Structures are given as structure tokens and as C-alpha cells.
Amino acid sequence: MDGVKCQFVNTNGITLHVAAAGPEDGPLIVLLHGFPEFWYGWKNQIKSLVDAGYRVIAPDQRGYNLSDKPEGIDSYRIDTLRDDIIGLITQFTDEKAIVIGHDWGGAVAWHLASTRPEYLEKLIAINIPHPHVMKTVTPLYPPQWLKSSYIAYFQFPDIPEASLRENDYETLDKAIGLSDRPALFTSEDVSRYKEAWKQPGALTAMLNWYRALRKGSLAEKPSYETVPYRMIWGMEDRFLSRKLAKETERHCPNGHLIFVDEASHWINHEKPAIVNQLILEYLKNQ
């Protein structure tokens, strides 16, 4: 991508691959991707943020693409994932950062905002609830059981990796809609994603984020008192119920929720102009 420079940054005992763009003296925005993406998942947001004067960094999070993939499920507990990002923030700025996260990246962002708010100015969460809402609401809400059933499958060793590799990563491809939505993803995009998934050890590391859940990754109850936030939610998300979004807004008083029609879990790809507008509007007006 034009204007994006990639580098390797040491943080929290590992090395992360980081895409960086924008003026080095601009306010820092950290973009955190989810499963099964990598930094490139923010390709539709980076230029808009840079043009607005922000310094933007988008890491491949621990276990993804070109970043380190430490062995062991315990290496992917959410406290550890949070500390990776704290290390990045402190290397790129002496000020507080704005963190924008989608899916698992949003979970890390929420956790950071709830447990170490001194590092954040604002939070924008895209189609991801507060982690404690996810933990407490899901067992009591059967529709979310069904939406989250794939998480139980991911707990098995080796089998999910084998199935995800089948037919040239067909399952992951279909999850995002890489091949069947040519208006959103070019052939170059498809190649980039599959190259990331093929990195040695990547699939196991990516799945270990889910496997760490059974080892108490979210055992600690983080505070509902967070930094100021905006939550953006595609109404047609087939993985996460709107109830999770509403419950997050109800429990977390320092922000607000915006629903977007005709958008799914992958709203940052489907509605980039709307997402970018909602991000910049919030950052400029709050």
C-alpha cells in the first residue's frame, strides 16, 4: 500500500510485524485486527486516518502473519495480548493512544481500556462487545450459543487446523467472503490473506487465542468503567448477537453504540466510507 512502511518491533518479549503510516508527530492510532485477518484488514481505513493527520500503526498481532508465534496456549491469554499493545504504544508515543479494534482486536482493545486505561485516550470497538458482557450474557442467551458454536470446535487439537487448510483455505475464505465478493476483495487481496494463513505455525497460533479461553483467559472481571468509547456494529453480524452490543452500552456508561444497516461482521470492508466517517466524526467531535 502506498505510504505504508512495515517494520519489526520488539514488545513484551516477542517481535511483532507492524505496518506504519502517517506523520510521525501525529496523534497515534493503533488498529487491531481480529480472526482470521492481519494488518491488511485495515486497508480501507489507513489512508483516511493518515489524511486526517494521524500516525497509524497496524500490527500483525501475536501469532498472525509475520509476527512471532510463541508455542503454548498460555502465550495467548488476553493479559499477554494486551501487554503486547502497551509495548507498542510506549515505543511509538509518549502520549495516550487511540485504539480501534475489530473482532478479537476489539476484545484486546476493550481489555486494555478496562484494565490499563492510562495508555488510552479513546476506544473504538467494531462489532465486538465488552469481553465480560460476552462471557456473562452468552451462557444465558441461546441464540448466541449457536453463533459461538465454532469456538467449541476450535478447542480440539490439530483437527481444526487440518479442516481450515482444506481446499486452499476454503473455510476461512468463505468466512470473510474473499472469493465470492469481488467488489470488496481483489485477487491480490485473496493472495495476501492466503499467504498470511500459510505462514508456518500461523493457524495453530491464531486458534490458540480461542483455546486460551478454556484456560481462564477472561477469568478476571475487567471494569465496565472505560475510557471514552464509540461502538460501531453491523446489524447483520452472523457471529455476534446485537444483544451483546446493547448490553455493553448498558453496562459501560462512558460511550455509545451506533448500529449500521446492511452490514455484517465485516463492516470495515463492506461499508468503509461509513466506518471511516463514524471514526473521524467521533475523534474530531468528542
Known catalytic residue at 119: no
Neighbours of 90 (CB within 10 A): 12
The domain containing residue 189 runs over which residues?
A: 5-285
Which position among 60, 83, 103, 189 bears the catalytic label? 103
Known catalytic residue at 229: no
Query: Greater confidence, 182 or 271?
Result: 271
Which position among 111, 132, 265, 269 bears the catalytic label? 265
Which position among 119, 210, 229, 282 bears the catalytic label? 210
Q: What is the pLDDT of residues 73-131, one digit of tens each?
A: 999 999 999 999 999 999 999 999 999 999 999 999 999 999 999 999 999 999 999 99
Q: With a cut of 90, say whether residue 65 has pLDDT above it.
A: yes
Place of cell 498460555: 74
* Model confidence pTM above 0.95: yes
Q: For 226-230, what is the mean pLDDT?
A: 94
Q: With a cut of 80, say whether residue 286 has pLDDT above it.
A: no
Q: With a cut of 80, say whether residue 184 has pLDDT above it.
A: yes
Q: What is the pLDDT of residue 214?
A: 87
Domain count, the chain: 1
- Residues 14, 79: Cα–Cα separation, whole Å: 14
Known catalytic residue at 64: no
- Residues 112, 121: Cα–Cα separation, whole Å: 11
CATH number of the structural domain spanning residue 148: 3.40.50.1820
